[in-house]
Structure 1
Amino acid sequence: MKAILLTEPGLQNLKLGQSTLADLKPGDLRIEVKATSLNPVDYKLSTHGHPSWTYPHTPGVDGAGVVLEVGPEVQGIQVGDRVFYHGDLTRAGSFAEQVLVDHRAVTVLPAEMSFEEGAALPCAGLTAYQALVRFCNLQAGQTVLVQGGAGGVGSFAVQIAHQWGARVIATASPAKHELVRSLGADEVIDYRDPEQMVEQVLQFSAGGVDIVLDTVSRASSTLGLQMVRPSGQLAFIAGRPEPEAVQQLGHPIKVHEVMLGGAHVRKDDAAIRDLSRMGEALSSMVVQGKVKVLISQHIGLPEIPEWLIKLKAGEVPFGKVVATL
């Protein structure tokens, strides 16, 4: 089968080639990949490698497709089902014509959704959902700050918070303000002047937000500490806030590190199954028109290496890059 192969760590070592899959393990599905999306974790691990990988390795954590074969001990999924999933990073991934996936992590793709929408949903959408709903227990009437509101995770987070009845503040560059407002943000702030940004957030939130979701960096999550009210919460995906800054706050907050793939790493049955349940909840919101899947670029399988480089360089203007196979 055709696949993107990483011959050794380094984005320059990603090539289109031929690969084969291992035999199905108990609980596995063999899936014909119809679409796959590109995520920061894909270029990060392709750059640095992973201790469990042997080379050549096929990256790609997210995908959507059709079930070709079911292994022993599979329940609830049948051959021919349309599905999407967030895969196990230690295994061969979705930048290929076929992939093996743990059935517990798979969600049936609603008929109203395309494979491209399904592929774009898991990593970014489930991360936003897990951070806000599972970890922070988002409630109507709360005020939420999303740092990086036009990105993959941020664009989903703005919409989820809006649909939960929260007041949403988001940061974005000025060119993306209207886009982020269209997703449900009540206030959109230019992040390029950090001091002014903090002042504006504190003004809009009457002294501090209930929840900060930072999708940007360690420096950004550290800055987010200044905007959380006492007993509020900060969730981050791109860098833990500086410990000294947390200690110097002078009031308690809850800090959550969001690592969606940790479910596979821990081999946590409940957490793996929750990937599927969160997928059901989020795809239902898409079908109902409550959440939009933002796809900024449609590509083919051979274009994945060059677009991973562009994603790393920050050249993707908003939302997700999706490859159709």
Structure 2
Amino acid sequence: MRGTEPPSHHRAWTWQSGRDPHGLALAERPVAPPRPGEVLVRNAVIGLNPVDWKVLGSDTWRPGKVPGCDGAGIVIAAGADVPGAWLGQRVAYHTWLGGRGSFAETTPVAARALLPVPAALDLEVAASVPCPGLTAWLALGKLPAQPGILLVAGAGGGVGTYLVPLAIRAGWKVTAQCHPRHHDRLVAQGAAVLPWNAELPRAAYGAAIDLRGPEAAAGLFPHLRANGHLVCIQGRVGGWGGEAFARCISLHEVALGALHVHGDARDWHALRRAAAGIFDDLVTARLAPEPALARDFECLPAHLQALKDRDFSGKALIRV
């Protein structure tokens, strides 16, 4: 291990049982040195995402697990086979949900998952990007190269914040379906908007990206054109929604965490390049992040519960 001497202990929010964010327990734990291929990040900001409360109490979890997938901070130590140039660097990251998470003062992160943060970008903004921003980028990568009319269902949240303007930039004519409180922002970005419960026209869209859930996604099949594409982010649908070789709808799924298990060096290189592009767009104001709602580290369970209850609109962040 190389770098400044890491702290011997740190505070971490740990899962004990159940699916209630208020069940997380604050513990002081020893800081393990980074393994080969890892660095240790001293977190400055933790990004909270809906997936963080959705996976609480997963079957493979054991008491004491540290949840959380997004964060940003400073690299303070490096394991074997990690270039020393990472030490002291400002980084953001997305971690595997099944591993050691970001709900802590320090987090071990695979070096391949590190996203360098430009000096001009605040770490709060950087911490808000990985899960929603890179999910949006992956979703767009599932669509055909020839743009057409795209429906983004549930466009008002974090993924939609990046997905809608990136799709418009790629040449898609975007219709955003979401709560009316998001309409002005999305219209300003160049999208057409529909209320979340609007009646959709049949066979109108060349592609649809669903950000709501499998049942809602399945309801989009009749509204796709022949040879259309349906991309599911919040859960896969149970079937193709029609007989074989009829309208020939292509079904896709997106899960950023899959790369932690199945991704290779080329996949991670592409993901890091995508993150660099998003960071640059945020610095130059070609993209705008969600409005931040930051709370102190001690408030993490309550802030995660408020995110689950949809008590606010914006990006939930934790200052460490």
What is the TM-score with the length of structure 2 in the denominator?
Answer: 0.90
Question: Cα–Cα, structure 1 residues 299 and 247, in superposed 2: closer, same or farther, change >3 Å?
Answer: farther
Residue deviations 1:69-117 (CA, integer Å, cap 9, x gap):
1111114842111011111222221111100000101110011211111
Please state if 1:99 is matched with 2:107.
yes
Question: Cα–Cα, structure 1 residues 9 and 267, in superposed 2: closer, same or farther, change >3 Å?
Answer: farther
Q: Report what 1:16 is aligned to.
A: 26
Please state if 1:124 is matched with 2:132.
yes
Partner Cα distance (1:32, 1:295) in 2 = 24
Deviation, 1:210, is: 2.1
SS at match of 1:178: helix
SS at match of 1:243: coil
Q: Report what 2:208 is aligned to.
A: 212
Please state if 1:38 is matched with 2:43.
no
Partner Cα distance (1:249, 1:307) in 2 = 47
Please state if 1:192 is matched with 2:197.
yes
Please state if 1:179 is matched with 2:185.
yes
CA contact (8 A) 1:85 1:122 kept: yes
**Equivalent position to 2:247, from 243, 246, 251:** 251
Please state if 1:2 is matched with 2:11.
yes
Partner Cα distance (2:104, 2:133) in 1 = 22
Question: Cα–Cα, structure 1 residues 166 and 267, in superposed 2: closer, same or farther, change >3 Å?
Answer: closer
CA contact (8 A) 1:295 1:322 kept: no
Residue deviations 1:104-131 (CA, integer Å, cap 9, x gap):
0111001121111111000001000111
Q: Report what 2:120 is aligned to.
A: 112
Q: Report what 2:221 is aligned to.
A: 225
Deviation, 1:173, is: 1.4
Give the number of aligned pairs.
310
Q: Report what 1:278 is aligned to.
A: 274
> Which piece of structure 1 moves more, 256-265 or 5-14?
5-14
Question: Cα–Cα, structure 1 residues 175 and 250, in superposed 2: closer, same or farther, change >3 Å?
Answer: same
> Which piece of structure 1 moves more, 16-25 or 108-117?
16-25
Partner Cα distance (2:59, 2:82) in 1 = 28
> Which piece of structure 1 moves more, 23-32 or 1-10?
1-10
Partner Cα distance (2:41, 2:64) in 1 = 20
Q: Report what 1:261 is aligned to.
A: 257
Q: Report what 1:152 is aligned to.
A: 158
SS at match of 1:303: helix
Q: Report what 2:316 is aligned to.
A: 321
Residue deviations 1:127-170 (CA, integer Å, cap 9, x gap):
001110x222555x522211111111112111111222321110
Partner Cα distance (1:249, 1:238) in 2 = 26
**Equivalent position to 1:234, from 230, 236, 248:** 230
CA contact (8 A) 2:139 2:209 kept: yes
Partner Cα distance (2:85, 2:249) in 1 = 41
Measured on the aligned residues, the alpha-carbon RMSD in Å equals 2.0
CA contact (8 A) 2:33 2:40 kept: no
Partner Cα distance (1:249, 1:156) in 2 = 34
CA contact (8 A) 2:233 2:255 kept: yes
Partner Cα distance (1:66, 1:301) in 2 = 17
Q: Report what 2:4 is aligned to.
A: none
Letter aligned with residue 112 of structure 2:
R
Deviation, 1:271, is: 2.8
Q: Report what 2:82 is aligned to.
A: 74
SS at match of 2:100: coil
Partner Cα distance (2:267, 2:310) in 1 = 31
Please state if 1:142 is matched with 2:148.
yes
